[in-house]
């Protein structure tokens, strides 16, 4: 009973922590973007003000939309919280995870995009429908390379393959070839994370200038705040996940946590700079890039990871 309460408290703390970190990261993103464009940019509390404002606004339910329209952001938020708790737990107490939590995290990370698809389809808006279909295509495009990249690390680590996130975070690669495989995997994952976040080269589904925010076009008030918060949490969670799987994770001691924070900032910085120096690609170009560019690279990474096995 005592451990159950401990885990519930841990879940709440991890979700809240990820939310706060994510909103601050969102500010870093907006501030750096502003500086790149030679502007001043918003103050640090801007994402918090946005959330508070949206929570206080009127919620409009379009006529064709049913209860699923309102449920979608809640499910997306809940799934992100669970994934955040598992990833944080894998870094705080690596020995406490369960076998296969890596697969659970990968599944839960799909849910926010899936809920965006469902919410956009239910909104009854043509822009929402187009955005939902693009989001779905993008999901089909980037999931396979991401799984292959993770697989390369799992197969290449010393001490045999395991699907426990805590073990993966602490593991080292067996030799040169698996190490190369993990670097390849890291690069692939960076692109997949960019697409998962819907950041600029792959913001095809939201595309404010052509389809008015895509799946979010009919959302207002509290449900929009939920999606906004989910997006912000993913901005913290996905770099954390990449650092955990591909770059040695956070911890265990103070030095490890400081190093982890530095790695996190490097990944976030890379995402923001990619976002600011690229134009939006077309959906078919994005799919070609992921299917015929990154997926074969992912297979090469897996092959390299198992090359030294006899």
Positions touching another protein (CB under 8 A) are 30, 34, 37-43, 45-46, 49-60, 208-209, 212-213, 216-221, 224
For the bound state, the minimum distance from the C-beta of residue 54 to another protein, rounded and expressed in Å, comes to 8
For the bound state, the minimum distance from the C-beta of residue 299 to another protein, rounded and expressed in Å, comes to 39
The two tokens of residue 18 are 């990820």
Distances in whole angstroms, Cα of residue 133 to Cα of each of 142, 265, 293: 15, 32, 22
The two tokens of residue 1 are 């009973």
Q: Which is nearer to another protein, 39 or 288 (CB)?
A: 39
Q: Which is nearer to another protein, 47 or 145 (CB)?
A: 47
For the bound state, the minimum distance from the C-beta of residue 239 to another protein, rounded and expressed in Å, comes to 23
For the bound state, the minimum distance from the C-beta of residue 195 to another protein, rounded and expressed in Å, comes to 21
Q: Confirm if 3 and 213 have CB atoms less than 8 A apart.
A: no
Distance of alpha carbon 193 from alpha carbon 84, whole angstroms? 15
Q: Which is nearer to another protein, 208 or 308 (CB)?
A: 208
Strand partners, 157: 173
- DSSP sequence for 191-252: HHHHHHHT-GGGTTTT-HHHHTTGGGTT--HHHHHHHHHHHHHHHHHHHHHHHHHHS--S-S
Q: Which is nearer to another protein, 161 or 221 (CB)?
A: 221
CA-nearest of 171, 175, 155 to 94 is 171
Q: Which is nearer to another protein, 69 or 264 (CB)?
A: 69
Q: Which is nearer to another protein, 3 or 37 (CB)?
A: 37
Q: Which is nearer to another protein, 101 or 218 (CB)?
A: 218
For the bound state, the minimum distance from the C-beta of residue 64 to another protein, rounded and expressed in Å, comes to 14
CA-nearest of 301, 309, 304, 286 to 142 is 286
For the bound state, the minimum distance from the C-beta of residue 220 to another protein, rounded and expressed in Å, comes to 4
For the bound state, the minimum distance from the C-beta of residue 7 to another protein, rounded and expressed in Å, comes to 31
The two tokens of residue 221 are 């008030």
For the bound state, the minimum distance from the C-beta of residue 193 to another protein, rounded and expressed in Å, comes to 24
Q: Which is nearer to another protein, 54 or 165 (CB)?
A: 54
| Residue 171, SS3 per DSSP | coil
Running DSSP on this structure, what letter comes out for residue 306? T
Distance of alpha carbon 308 from alpha carbon 13, whole angstroms? 42
Intra-chain end-to-end CA distance of the chain, in Å: 47
């Amino acid at each position: 009973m005592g451990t159950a309460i401990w885990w519930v408290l841990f879940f709440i703390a991890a979700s809240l922590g990820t939310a706060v970190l994510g909103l601050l990261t969102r500010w870093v993103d907006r501030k750096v973007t502003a500086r790149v464009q030679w502007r001043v940019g918003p103050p640090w509390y801007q994402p918090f003000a946005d959330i508070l404002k949206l929570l206080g606004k009127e919620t409009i339910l379009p006529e064709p939309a049913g209860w699923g329209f309102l449920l979608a952001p809640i499910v997306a938020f809940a799934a992100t919280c669970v994934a955040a708790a598992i990833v944080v737990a894998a870094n705080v107490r690596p020995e406490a995870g369960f076998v296969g939590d890596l697969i659970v995290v990968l599944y839960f990370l799909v849910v926010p995009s899936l809920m965006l698809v469902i919410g956009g389809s239910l909104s009854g808006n043509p822009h929402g429908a187009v955005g939902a279909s693009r989001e779905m295509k993008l999901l089909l495009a980037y999931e396979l390379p991401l799984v292959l990249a993770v697989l390369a690390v799992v197969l290449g680590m010393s001490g045999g393959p395991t699907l426990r996130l805590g073990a993966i975070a602490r593991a080292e690669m067996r030799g040169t070839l698996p190490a190369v495989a993990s670097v390849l995997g890291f690069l692939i994952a960076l692109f997949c994370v960019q697409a998962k976040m819907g950041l600029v080269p792959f913001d095809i589904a939201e595309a404010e200038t052509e389809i008015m925010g895509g799946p979010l076009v009919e959302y207002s008030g509290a449900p929009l705040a939920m999606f906004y918060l989910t997006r912000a949490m993913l901005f913290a969670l996905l770099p954390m996940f990449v650092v955990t799987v591909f770059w040695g994770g956070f911890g265990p001691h103070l030095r490890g946590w400081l190093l982890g924070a530095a790695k996190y900032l490097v990944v976030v910085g890379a995402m923001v700079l990619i976002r600011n120096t690229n134009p939006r690609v077309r959906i078919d170009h994005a799919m070609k890039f992921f299917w015929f560019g990154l997926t074969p690279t992912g297979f090469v990474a897996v092959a390299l990871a198992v090359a030294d096995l006899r």
